[in-house]
Amino acid sequence: MKVLIVGGGGREHALAWKCGQSPRVTAVFVAPGNAGTALEPKISNVAIAADDVPALLAFAAREAIDLTIVGPEGPLVLGIVDRFSAAGLRCFGPSRAAARLEGSKAYTKEFLVRHGIPSAGHATFTRANFSADYVRAQRLPVVVKADGLAAGKGVVICETHEAALAACHGMLGGDFGAAGETIVVEEFLVGEEVSFIVIAHDQQVLPLATSQDHKRRDDGDLGPNTGGMGAYSPAPVVDAVLHQRIMREVIEPTLRGLRADGNPYTGFLYAGLMIAPDGTPNVLEFNCRFGDPETQPILMRLRSDLTTLCDAALDGRLDAVQALWDDRAALGVVMAAGGYPDAYRKGEPIEGLPAAALLPGKVFHAGTLAQGEQVVTNGGRVLCAVGLGVDIVAARAEAYDLVAAIHWNLVQYRRDIGHRAIARELSGESRP
C-alpha cells in the first residue's frame, strides 16, 4: 500500500518512519516533509504545502494513495478529510466540523460546559461585549486565549490585571487577526499537565500510551510557552485509576457529545489535561491530531502497525484491534534554534547528525533542510532526539547522548526533560 503523510515537522517524520516500517507499505510520501524524512528508506518528500488541499488531493488521486494521515491541524480545520472522502480517498482525521474542537476555543468551552466535562471556569468575549470589569474581578493569574488557531501563541498567562487587559485588548485589536476576534478569559488551574491521546472512531476508542510534554522553553518549566520542548512516555502520573477517570469523564463524554451534536469524530484525539490535586482531569484544550513532540516518544514505543490501526478506525473496526507497546520508556528532547519561540535564524549548518545516527535511539527532524550534503536549520524546533530505556532515567540518558553528539550555532534545549517523572521514579513510586 501507498501512504501519504501531510506535514513537515517532527511528528510527521515519526509518523512516516513508523508507517515505513510496515511490511504492507511499499511507499510513503511526505508533503512537504523535511531533510530527515528525505533520508528514510521507502520515504520520499513531495513539494506540496501541508495546507494546499487541492494539490494534495490531486497528488493522492494521481498516485492512488491508499491511506493519507494528516499531521497538523491546519488542513483538518480546512476540511481536508471531507474533500478526500468526497473523492473516494481514505484520509485519517476528523471532518472539518469535528475539527472545530481544536479550531475554536470558544466553541470548545461551550461544548465542555454543555456536556458536563470538567474544565476551567471561563467567559467568552468579542469587542462588542468585552467587559474590563469582569477581567479585573478575576483571581490572578488569569489566562487569556485567542479563539482561533494562533500557532501555539494564542494563550497568555497573566500575573496582573493590567497584563490581562493588555492581552485582551491586543487580541481583540487584531494582534492575531481573525483568530483573536473572539477571546476566552479563563481561570488559572494548578496541577500536573498530561497529554492523553486516543485513536477514535465515533464511540470506539483505542487509547494510546500515555505521555507528558514540557511546554515552557526553559529548565524548571519556566520561560515562555512553546510548541513543546520535550516529551516522554509513559507518564507515571497516569495510573490505572486516573486512566479510567480520563476515559469516563473526558474521552467518552466528548465522543458522545460530538455524535449528539452531529459531528462524529474519527482520527487522533488529543486531550490536554490539567490533573487537579484531587485527581479531577480538567480539559485545557483538545487537539484534533497527534501531539508534537509526544508523537515521537509514543511511536518509538508502538509495536503494532500504525497503518493497521488507522485502517481499523476508518473501517469502524477499532474495537477489534489492540495496540501493542514496548515496555520500555521513551523520552524526546527538542533541539531548537536560539531565540525560539521568538525570532530565530534559519540556515545554520547542523553538525554531528552522522555520528548521532550510529548511536542507539532516534533523531527525528522537524525544521531542517538539505542543502546538498549539508543539513541546515529551517525552523524554530529543529530536531527531537528520542532515547529508549528500562525507565525514564535510562531513556533520558540515551536521548541526551544523542543531543551531545549534535551541534549548531545558537542551539538551545532543555536539560531537565522528564524531571517530574524522574522525581517520581527516584521516590520509589512504581510505573503504572
Tell me whether residue 203 or residue 225 sits nearer to ligand AMP (CB atom).
225
Nearest-approach distance from CB 4 to ligand AMP, in angstroms:
28
Find the residue with minimal CB distance to ligand AMP.
Answer: 285
Neighbouring residues of 168: CB distance < 8 A, sequence distance ≥ 6? 125, 130, 132, 135, 144, 183, 185
| Shortest spacing between CB 70 and ligand AMP, in angstroms | 19
CB–CB of 300/327 below 8 Å? no
326 vs 243: CA distance, rounded Å: 19
- Measured from the CB atom, the residue of 285 and 401 that comes closer to ligand AMP is 285
Nearer Cβ to ligand AMP, position 20 or 281? 281
Closest alpha carbon to 61 in 76, 48, 77: 48
**Least distance to ligand AMP, CB of residue 221, Å:** 9
For residue 89, give the nearest of 22, 3, 20 by alpha carbon: 3
Closer by beta carbon to ligand AMP, 227 or else 361? 227
Residue 64's alpha-carbon distances to 1, 7, 87, 93, 296, in angstroms, are: 9, 19, 11, 19, 28
Closer to ligand AMP by Cβ: residue 28 or 189: 189
Take residue 294 and report the three cell numbers written for it: 509526544
3-state secondary structure of 47: coil
Query: C-beta of 20: minimal distance to ligand AMP in Å?
Result: 31
Secondary structure percentages of the chain, helix, strand, coil, to 5:
30, 30, 40
Nearer to ligand AMP (CB atom), residue 236 or residue 341: 341
- Smallest gap, in angstroms, from Cβ of residue 351 to ligand AMP? 32
Q: How far is the CB of 362 from ligand AMP (least distance, A)?
A: 25
Measured distance CA(292)–CA(10) in Å, rounded: 7
* Cα–Cα distance, 130 to 430 (Å, whole number): 48
β-pairing, 182-187 vs 122-126, is antiparallel
Select 40 or 147, whichever has its Cβ closest to ligand AMP.
Answer: 147
CB of 347 to ligand AMP, least distance (A): 29
Between residues 284 and 302, which has the closer beta carbon with respect to ligand AMP? 284
Say if residues 112 and 283 touch (Cβ distance below 8 Å): yes
Torsion sign, CA atoms 104, 107, 113, 114: negative
Where does this chain bind ligand AMP (CB under 6 A)?
Answer: 120, 143, 145, 155, 186-189, 193, 215, 225, 272, 284-285
Least Å from the CB of residue 190 to ligand AMP? 7
Q: Which CB atom, from 195 or from 377, has the smaller least distance to ligand AMP?
A: 195
* Residue 5 C-beta: closest distance to ligand AMP, Å: 24
Q: Are 226 and 340 in contact (CB under 8 A)?
A: yes
- How far apart (Å, rounded) are the C-alpha atoms in residues 59 and 246? 39
Exposed, middle or buried: residue 128 (CB in 10 Å: 0-12, 13-18, 19+)? exposed
In the bound state with ligand AMP, the residue whose beta carbon lies nearer, of 163 and 359, is: 163
Least Cβ distance, residue 189 to ligand AMP (angstroms): 4
Helix (H) or strand (E) holding 59: helix 53-62
